[in-house]
Structure 1
């Protein structure tokens, strides 16, 4: 029995839909393009009388595409350069999340 179409991660991550091409550069390695879903959710946190506003950029992509990446590796999305906060965070489905920060 063939796998359902949603099991094909390459088909799921087509830039024609909602994914985009992202460039990753491991430290001391070679730059390459991967496909991923970029989002930058907004968080507002209140601690007592203080408020903190933050954006948390991240890319969701195939875990196998980013297995060699580590914290501080460069990730370029739409011409803007970010850096990994940690290594890739696999979710157990074949996908991983790259948590990003600007300089």
Structure 2
């Protein structure tokens, strides 16, 4: 496999490799379908004597793929629904990160 071309983020976000399909539902009714890198990171944070386990799911995508996405919108990744906790946080390379929380669906 040839080395990825970092100028072409579509190559980096190839769903046949590491990326997955992300479906975003904006509060204004617009639905977006995009390719993203999903992380369901686990942190074991410690503050003095206190330890706290935390799961901080997030998804990385192209900044241009998430126009108008805001805190309070929702998304679905691999069958799980998430609340979007932040506006897209760009990293200066054309990528943006959305912090997520598992959505508590009513039973």
| Length-normalised TM-score, structure 1 | 0.90
DSSP-derived class of the 2:6 partner:
helix
Note if 1:98 corresponds to 2:94. Answer: no
Deviations 1:47-95 (A, max 9, x none): 2322110011000000010131000100110010001111000001100
Cross-structure match for 2:14: 14
Deviations 1:14-51 (A, max 9, x none): 10010011100110222221000001111111223221
Count residues in correspondence: 100
DSSP-derived class of the 1:10 partner:
helix
Report the more deviating stretch, 27-36 or 4-13: 4-13
Cross-structure match for 2:40: 40
> What is the alpha-carbon distance in structure 2 between the residues aligned to residue 75 and residue 24 of structure 1?
4
> What is the alpha-carbon distance in structure 2 between the residues aligned to residue 85 and residue 32 of structure 1?
17
DSSP-derived class of the 2:11 partner:
helix
> What is the alpha-carbon distance in structure 1 between the residues aligned to residue 75 and residue 29 of structure 2?
13
- Structure 1 stretches of 4+ moved >3 Å: none
Q: Aligned in 2, Cα 1:48/1:5: closer, same or farther, shift over 3 Å? A: closer
Note if 1:23 corresponds to 2:23. Answer: yes
Q: RMSD of aligned C-alpha atoms?
A: 1.3
The gaps in structure 1 that reach 5 residues or longer are none
Matches within 5 A, 1:32-71: 32-71=32-71
